[in-house]
């Protein structure tokens, strides 16, 4: 897998984390280094671990579905991208939270919720026969960095972007799925 494709996947996966970080930056009365570290570290860690778990699950299935791997990757990426688009278009406006979402169970639940999509990516990479270690590191670092940027931006510009970042992330995943099918079809 080329680096541009990998980075595109990492950015697309990080859009949920970025959107959550943006909204968190909006609701925190004062953004501190601790907030940035906790959110960036946890979101990056979970985004890195979930594809590894998906990849490990996918290794056991690889022998059975290798002939259909490109279609499976396309379907998974399209489902994840479509889910991101659907959620962006059907999201409820929540009132500002009074607790600190960068602590305790709120932090863990947000970290898991924003990284579930990465599990499907890991499965797709296993099916395609791609080693997971470089993608996991790139995905984790990208998510951590974009989380910090999202919090800082949320603190600065307010609710200007809204669901636009999730829409962009969903479209990127669908485009990458199409690219995989086109490449496999043209190379066969």
Please list the pLDDT of the chain residue by residue as tens digits (188 residues). 789 989 999 999 998 888 888 878 877 778 899 999 999 999 999 999 999 998 998 887 766 666 676 777 788 778 777 876 787 777 665 544 446 788 888 888 888 888 888 888 898 888 888 899 999 999 999 999 999 999 999 887 755 555 566 677 677 778 877 887 887 777 66
Q: Give every CB contact of residue 42 below 8 A, 6+ residues apart in sequence.
A: 107, 108, 111
List the structure tokens of 62.
Answer: 């690889």
Place of tokens 């026969």: 129
Contact 10, 163 (CB under 8 A): no
């Amino acid at each position: 897998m080329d680096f541009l494709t990998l980075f595109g996947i990492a950015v697309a996966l990080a859009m949920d984390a970025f959107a959550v970080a943006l909204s968190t930056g909006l609701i925190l009365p004062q953004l501190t280094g601790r907030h940035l570290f906790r959110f960036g570290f946890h979101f990056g860690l979970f985004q890195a671990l979930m594809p590894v778990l998906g990849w490990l699950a996918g290794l056991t299935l690889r022998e059975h579905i290798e002939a259909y791997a490109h279609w499976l990757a396309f379907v998974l990426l399209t489902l994840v991208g479509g889910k991101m688009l659907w959620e962006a278009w059907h999201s409820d406006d929540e009132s500002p939270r009074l607790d600190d979402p960068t602590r305790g169970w709120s932090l863990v639940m947000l970290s898991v919720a924003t990284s579930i999509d990465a599990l499907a990516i890991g499965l797709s990479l296993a099916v395609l026969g791609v080693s997971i270690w470089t993608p996991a590191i790139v995905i984790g670092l990208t998510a951590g960095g974009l989380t910090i940027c999202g919090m800082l931006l949320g603190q600065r510009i307010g609710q200007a972007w809204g669901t636009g970042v999730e829409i962009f992330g969903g479209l990127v995943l669908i485009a990458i799925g199409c690219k995989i099918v086109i490449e496999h079809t043209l190379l066969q």
